[in-house]
Amino acid sequence: MMDPFDDTYFMKRALQEAEIAYQKGEIPVGAVVVIDQKIIARAHNLTETLVDVTAHAEMQAITAAANYLGGKYLRGCTLYVTLEPCQMCAGALYWSQLSKIVYAASDPHRGYEVMGTKLHPKTAVVRGVLQDQAEDLLNKFFIEKRNLN
């Protein structure tokens, strides 16, 4: 029997957050944090809304999850995010000590891997879950952005 709460299920929730960001005119990146098969934080990019370069979906999700748990460490938690974290977010994820990160689309220009940033050694990484859907939304956003300018 298939687990109804697999990586695809939770990545779809992160994609819903990315869609909210898209509707707000934000770069469409969404994230959710899960512990024991329960979503404890939902977030999306808010850099334009908050006029804050650090308001990435992952940063918002880390803060919300830490507030929910009442502590700064997110051991036992999984972050689902629609785009590979940048080096800033990877640094914050390192310090939060997440157990697992699952991302959809790779970022070949600004992703933590191409920048050489390391995650916590105990953090597992899964890449490419619903990659096509995440890439389609990002591409749609940037095509529209280019056509407006």
Quickly state the pLDDT bin for 3 (edges 50, 70, 90).
Answer: low
CA 39 to chain centre: 13
Q: Is 86 annotated as a binding residue?
A: yes
Mean pLDDT, the chain, integer = 95
Confidence check: pLDDT of 83 > 60 = yes
Binned at pLDDT 50, 70 and 90, residue 147 comes out as confident
pLDDT at 5: 76
pTM of the model: 0.95
Residue 89: name the closest of 139, 29, 141, 138 by CA: 29
The average pLDDT across 69-95 equals: 97
- pLDDT confidence bin for 149, thresholds 50/70/90: low
User: Stretch 125-135: mean pLDDT, rounded?
Assistant: 97
Average pLDDT over residues 42-50: 97
pLDDT the model gives residue 146: 85
Specify the pLDDT at position 4: 67
Mean pLDDT calculated for residue range 103-119: 95
Identified catalytic residue from 17, 26, 58, 84 = 58
Mean pLDDT value of segment 63-78: 97
Cα Rg of the chain, angstroms? 14
Do residues 64 and 35 touch, judged by C-beta distance below 8 A? Answer: no
Query: Strand 30-35 vs strand 38-44: parallel, antiparallel, or unpaired?
Result: antiparallel
58 is catalytic: yes
pLDDT of residue 31 exceeding 60, the answer is yes
Tell whether the model's pLDDT for residue 1 goes beyond 60. no
> Would you say 89 is a known binding-site residue?
yes
Residue 56 marked as a ligand binder: yes
- Spell out the domain ranges in the chain: 7-148
Q: Does domain 7-148 have CATH number 3.40.980.10?
A: no
pLDDT tens string 47-67: 999 999 999 999 999 999 999
